[in-house]
Amino acid sequence: MPADLIYPGEPGCAAAVRLAAGQPGACGGEPVGTVEHRYCYPRPHVARLFVCAEHSQGLEVRALDDADRTELDRRRRERAEAYGRRAANQS
């Protein structure tokens, strides 16, 4: 059964997993490929989602290319900057 890919903006795997106390969260595993996901709401569009080896089972996965690696780097950089701003605001 394919994974629930509900975290499209993640800088890692977009699959949902159960974290501590059963709370849902993003897998965050190292991506090995991408899948296309079609959204109908709030507007129809196609998104590129990253998946790790474990959550790629049963999906049509395309191997990572240079554009995908660039996008992952951008997402990781933005995540790190956001955490840095939040830490600075809390001190």
pTM for this entry: 0.78
Question: From start to end of the chain, where are the E strands?
Answer: 16-18, 24-26, 33-39, 45-51, 62-63
ω before 31 within 30° of 0 (cis)?
no
Residue with tokens 């109908």: 40
Question: Each residue of 46-88: pLDDT tens digit?
Answer: 888 999 999 999 999 999 999 999 999 999 999 999 888 776 7
